Chain A
Amino acid sequence: AQSVTQPDIHITVSEGASLELRCNYSYGATPYLFWYVQSPGQGLQLLLKYFSGDTLVQGIKGFEAEFKRSQSSFNLRKPSVHWSDAAEYFCAVGATGGYNKLIFGAGTRLAVHP
């Protein structure tokens, strides 16, 4: 069965520092991978997605993610974090079945120190 693991429950970084959030997936074929961000009181917002092609994917708000098949990973990165990036981040894999049923990880809560 498909699954997503986000090893870090909570991460704290200083404003301006670089960020990497880890995501590992379990999937039998080429996965469809997503990163969503959830701010308090807001709905989940898509940051970026990977389906095929270039393994380095650019998203909104300066985020990028790299798909590494050999490591079953899809880590999210940002070179310089802003205070407004404080939120919860979810990695998800698109399930089989021909439609976009998402399986989410448990999330990583990001805190940003000034």
Chain B
Amino acid sequence: GAGVSQTPSNKVTEKGKYVELRCDPISGHTALYWYRQSLGQGPEFLIYFQGTGAADDSGLPNDRFFAVRPEGSVSTLKIQRTERGDSAVYLCASSPQGQVHNEQFFGPGTRLTVL
């Protein structure tokens, strides 16, 4: 079946602009995670959704970052007033439930470049 998909695969924007990154999880997965992977680093947790609600947004770096999942499926990560330091690969993952033993299935990521 289809895996986690993310669009766009690449996004180039200018400093100060607004961007939206989309994640389509595996159908039926109630848990959805966003991570950010900077060059030469491992993924860093940003936010976790269980259904429609953000159960943990402790990883969001500041209030320029926001994410939604209005219908409990597709999620959008929104970044306002982008900065060069936001350049990274943004990864989305989903799992059947938000339990520690459930495997997280990752998408290919969106590479964001802020000029």
Contacts and interface: CB of A to CB of B under 8 A. Distances in A.
Interface of A: 4, 6, 32, 36, 41-46, 49, 51, 90, 92, 94-95, 97-107
A102 B108 contact: no
Given A43-B3, A99-B55, A99-B98, A104 B44 contact: yes
Give the contact-size bracket for chain B. 20 to 34
A107 B31 contact: no
The dominant DSSP class at the A interface is loop
Nearest to B40: A106
A106 B39 CA distance: 10
A100 B43 contact: no
A43 B106 contact: yes
Nearest to A9: B40
A94 B91 contact: no
B41 to A, nearest CB: 6
Interface in B1-42: 3-4, 31, 33, 35, 40-42
A101 B101 contact: no
* Best-surrounded residue of A4, A94, A99, A102 (most CB of chain B within 10 A): A99
A100 B42 contact: no
Contacts of B33: 101-102
Contacts of B93: 44
Given A100-B102, A101-B45, A102-B43, 12 more contacts: A32-B101, A41-B108, A43-B106, A51-B100, A90-B43, A94-B100, A98-B98, A99-B100, A100-B98, A101-B48, A102-B104, A107-B40
A43 B101 contact: no
Given A106-B40, A107-B42, A99 B31 contact: yes
A100 B31 contact: yes
Contacts of A103: 45
A36 B104 CA distance: 10
B43 A104 contact: yes
A32 B109 CA distance: 24
A82 to B, nearest CB: 22
Given A99-B31, A101-B56, A102-B43, A32 B108 contact: no
